[in-house]
Amino acid sequence: MTVLWLLAAVAGFSFLLTWQLRRYALARSLMDIPNARSSHSLPTPRGGGVAIVLSFLAAMPLLVAEGGIGWSMMWGVLGACGGVALIGFIDDHSHIAARWRLLGHFSGAFWGLYWLKGLPGLEVLGFSLELGWFGHVLAAFFLVWLLNLYNFMDGIDGIASVEAICVCLGGALLYLLLGQMERAVLPLLLVAAVLGFVAWNFPFARIFMGDAGSGFLGMALGLLLLQAAWSNPKLLWSWMILLGVFIVDATWTLLRRFFRGEKIYEAHRSHAYQYASRHLGRHWPVTVAVLVMNLAWLMPIALWVGLGDLDGVLGLILAYLPLLILAVKYKAGKQEVSDSSYPAAEGQGV
């Protein structure tokens, strides 16, 4: 099976499976009901991210057979990402206490790190750093933070899908420019799986991704980042730059809420993208803005770093500074005002 046929098949399967999941959710009344912490205004089916999970994971053995990836990467992704998706799926249908979810997330992170051989050496301002076991622990915390921030940022139509597509396209392009075409297939496979879902989620959501999908994407992107770093240390910084919109908004919001003494694990709608969508009264302009920032700002800087012409740390600062300014401008992490002052933005519908 050629790569193009495989990608087309994955996108088609994801599209059809999302359709079936929507029918299932409507039949079983698995609906996301708007509340005081929601960014949407209409009840909407949830759980469509399972289509991303199943279409992506089902295609991985085919990639192994074609020589596109090794067994270690497959087992790492299947165990870590599949486990996180299962936790999210159960949580979507009932509830898992935060401490047990966190334990499951760290278990998945360490499983993935075991198969990917942990965190590689870092290049920082021209120096090589080998962090040893501390680096592996640091990488585990990073993976858990990434999957959780992806869950936090999955709050308006299409934003989580657009982010995953842009990040993976940027990573694949870097591989192609560096002559590592075989490595580009896995991020492109994730693009195909997400494309099948996003047709149902943007510009107006007919089904939500749910925790199963958002957690899966966060973990998958983290493992793809580590795989890239093992192939070339500069690519770690490139992938961090590509993820900048989500990392900056979520991290700045969490820090402000933490220092204000709020419970950071509780649902809220104080991210910059949420304030922006309520200000505009629509979801799609914010998602399109994220797409433009990724393609016009972050991707060129990521390529600049990955091709060796700019130090990774300096590139990260250059990329993140305007994003931080935007987060401050749009009040990321500011204590929320009354619901009557900030109604939910229109965007979703059954």
Q: Which residue has the higher pLDDT, 269 or 110?
A: 110
Reported as type and span, the H/E element at residue 171 is: helix 159-177
Nearest to 291 by CA among 169, 171, 205: 169
- Span 270-287, average pLDDT: 95
pLDDT at 1: 58
Domain for residue 176, yes or no? yes
Domain for residue 125, yes or no? yes
pLDDT at 185: 95
pLDDT in tens, 2-38: 889 999 999 999 999 999 999 999 998 888 887 656 6
Q: Which of 38-42, 147-151, 211-215, 309-313 shows the lowest mean pLDDT across its residues? A: 38-42
Domain for residue 218, yes or no? yes
Domain for residue 177, yes or no? yes
- Work out how many domains the chain is built from and give that number: 1
Domain for residue 146, yes or no? yes
Domain for residue 186, yes or no? yes
With b meaning 16 or more CB within 10 Å and e meaning fewer, what string describes 228-246?
bbbebbbbbbbbbbbbbbb
pLDDT at 286: 98
Burial of 340 (0-12, 13-18, 19+ CB in 10 A): exposed
Residues of the domain holding 318: 3-33+40-329
pLDDT at 240: 98
The model carries a pTM of: 0.94
Domain for residue 335, yes or no? no
Domain for residue 150, yes or no? yes
CB atoms within 10 A of CB 47: 25
SS3 readout for 8-74 = HHHHHHHHHHHHHHHHHHHHHCCEECCCCCCCCCCCEECCCHHHHHHHHHHHHHHHHHHCCCCHHHH
Q: Hey, which residues does 31 pair with through a beta bridge? A: 45
